[in-house]
Amino acid sequence: MPTYDVERLRRDYPILERQVYGKPLIYLDNTATSQTPRQVVEAVENMYYAHKANVHRGVFSLSQEATAMQEATREKVRDYINAASTSEIIFTRGTTEGINLVASSFGSFFENGDEIILTAMEHHADIVPWQLLGMRKRINIRVVPVHKDGTLDLDAYRSLFNERTRLVAFTHVSNVLGTVNPVKEMTAYAHSLDVPVLCDGAQAAPHMAIDVADLDVDFYAFSSHKMYGPAGVGVLYGKESFLEKMPPYQGGGEMISHVSFKKTTFADLPFKFEAGTPDFVDIAAFSACIDYIRSVGIDAIAAHEHELLEWTTAEMMKIPGMRIFGTAPGKCAVISFLMGDAHHYDTGMLLDKLGIAVRTGHHCAQPLMETLGIEGTVRASFALYNTRAEAEAFIAALHRIAPLLGIE
C-alpha cells in the first residue's frame, strides 16, 4: 500500500496556506464543513466555463452535455454507496433537505397517535422536521438514551418499539461525540418488526465507506460539503419500493410528466422528488469529489484521521481539568471538550487568536447538551489533510491558553 502523503494532499487545498492573526491556519472544524480541493473547484469552473445550460430541458448540445454530467454523477453516487438503481438517488440541497423530504412525504402516511423513534444524540436536522410533522398530526417521538461513553442504550432502543412505531431515524455518526452507531444491527431489529429506518449519514459519508445494500437502511441522507465537495448539494438514498409509493415533496418543473389545470401526473423516479432546476453545477462537481476521495482511499483517510484522534486525545487528557465528551470505541475523529470551568466560547476565541479554527456551542444538538448537563462544548475534528504537526500545535495552544482560562 502506498504511504499516506499528507503533504502532497495539502497542496490540493490553497486555503490551507492562509494565515489567521499572522499564524498559519489550522483548520479543525471539519465536522461542520471540510475544505475543497483544487480538483473539485476546477470541476465547478469547467462547468461554468464550458457546459452551463439547464438540465433535462434542451435539445441543444450544451444542455445535453450538462444533463449527461448530472446523470453521470447520479450513477457515480449510486455505485459509491452501492444502491441498486439510480432511481434511488435523489439530489437535494443537503442532509437537512433529505430528512425534511422523508418527514414531509413518507410522514404523510402517518396517523394521529403514531410513533417514531429518534436518539438523544440527533442533530437538529433529524429532530425538527419530525416536530414540524407533529404540528400537522399528533406524532409521538420516543428517544433512545445515550450512555456516559457516548454509545446508545440499545436495550432501551429495543424497548421503545410498539405497534404504533412507524419509523426509526438516527444518525450513523454523532457530530458531537463521534460515536459510530451500529446501523446494521439497529436496522435489522427495526426490520424484524417491519419498521423502516432512516439513517443520517452526514458525518459518516466523509469518513467511511457507505454500503446501503449491506446496511439495509430504507433512507440514507448526506451532504457534499462535508465530503470536500461544493455546498448546496446532498443526496437522499431511498429504497425504490418506498419512493415509488411516496407523494412528491415539492411541486414545479422537472418533477412532472404532464400538467393541466384538471390533473397533473408526476415524473418517474428519481425526478418526482427533484422539483425545479437542481444545483446542476455543483452536482457535476460532486462527481470530481467522489473521484478525489476514491483516489486517496476512504480506508486510508479513516486510518490517518484515527491516528490523529488517538494521539491528540491522549495528549489532551494530560491537561488538568480536561473533559472529553464521547469516548466510544471506534469513534470518528471528533473531539468535543471543555477545559475546567472555562466557557467554550472563551476557549474557542483564544484558539482562534492562535490560528486554530474549532467550533464552539451546542453543535445543533441541544437535546444532547441537555443530557450531558452542559450548554456547549469546544469541538475539534480532523480531515484527510490535517497533520501531526497541526495536532501538536493544537496541544501546545491548549497548554498556552490554559493559564488564561484559570487552569494549570
Q: Which residues bind ligand PLP (CB under 6 A)?
A: 32, 94-96, 123, 125, 171, 175, 200, 202-203, 223
Sheet bearing 359-361, strands edge to edge: 322-325, 334-339, 377-381, 359-361
Instruction: Decide: 154 and 162 in contact? Cβ < 8 Å.
Output: no
In Å, what is the CA distance from 346 to each residue of 95, 341, 392? Answer: 30, 11, 21
Give the integer Cα–Cα distance in Å for 124 and 121. Answer: 9
Q: How far is the CB of 333 from ligand PLP (least distance, A)?
A: 14
Q: How far is the CB of 221 from ligand PLP (least distance, A)?
A: 8
Residue 99 or 288 with smaller CB distance to ligand PLP: 99
Give the integer Cα–Cα distance in Å for 308 and 333. Answer: 8
Q: Say what the alpha-carbon torsion angle 235, 239, 244, 245 is, to the nearest 10 degrees.
A: -110
* Per-residue DSSP letter, 255: S
Residue 198 or 351 with smaller CB distance to ligand PLP: 198
User: Residue for cell digits 491522549?
Assistant: 314
Give the integer Cα–Cα distance in Å for 302 and 44. Answer: 26
Residue 32 or 319 with smaller CB distance to ligand PLP: 32
The number of residues in the chain equals: 408
Provide the total of helices (H) and of strands (E) in the chain, helices listed first: 14, 17
Give the integer Cα–Cα distance in Å for 31 and 121. Answer: 15
Q: How far is the CB of 164 from ligand PLP (least distance, A)?
A: 26
Helix (H) or strand (E) holding 302: helix 298-316
Q: Which of 199, 289, 332, 364 is catalytic?
A: 364
* Per-residue DSSP letter, 28: -
Q: How far is the CB of 201 from ligand PLP (least distance, A)?
A: 8
> Is-catalytic flag, 199?
no
Residue 87 or 171 with smaller CB distance to ligand PLP: 171
User: Residue for cell digits 446496511?
Assistant: 215
Q: How far is the CB of 194 from ligand PLP (least distance, A)?
A: 26
Contacts of 403 (CB under 8 A, 6+ apart): none
Residue 203 or 312 with smaller CB distance to ligand PLP: 203
CA neighbor of 236 nearest in space, from 211, 279, 201: 201
Exposed, middle or buried by CB within 10 Å (0-12, 13-18, 19+), for 25?
middle
CA neighbor of 266 nearest in space, from 277, 281, 254: 254
CA neighbor of 30 nearest in space, from 357, 349, 346: 357
Q: How far is the CB of 239 from ligand PLP (least distance, A)?
A: 20
Q: How far is the CB of 9 from ligand PLP (least distance, A)?
A: 23
CA neighbor of 175 nearest in space, from 290, 30, 356, 65: 30
Instruction: Decide: 172 and 330 in contact? Cβ < 8 Å.
Output: no
Residue 167 or 350 with smaller CB distance to ligand PLP: 167
Q: How far is the CB of 200 from ligand PLP (least distance, A)?
A: 5
Residue 106 or 339 with smaller CB distance to ligand PLP: 106
Residue 128 or 324 with smaller CB distance to ligand PLP: 128
Active-site residue numbers? Answer: 364
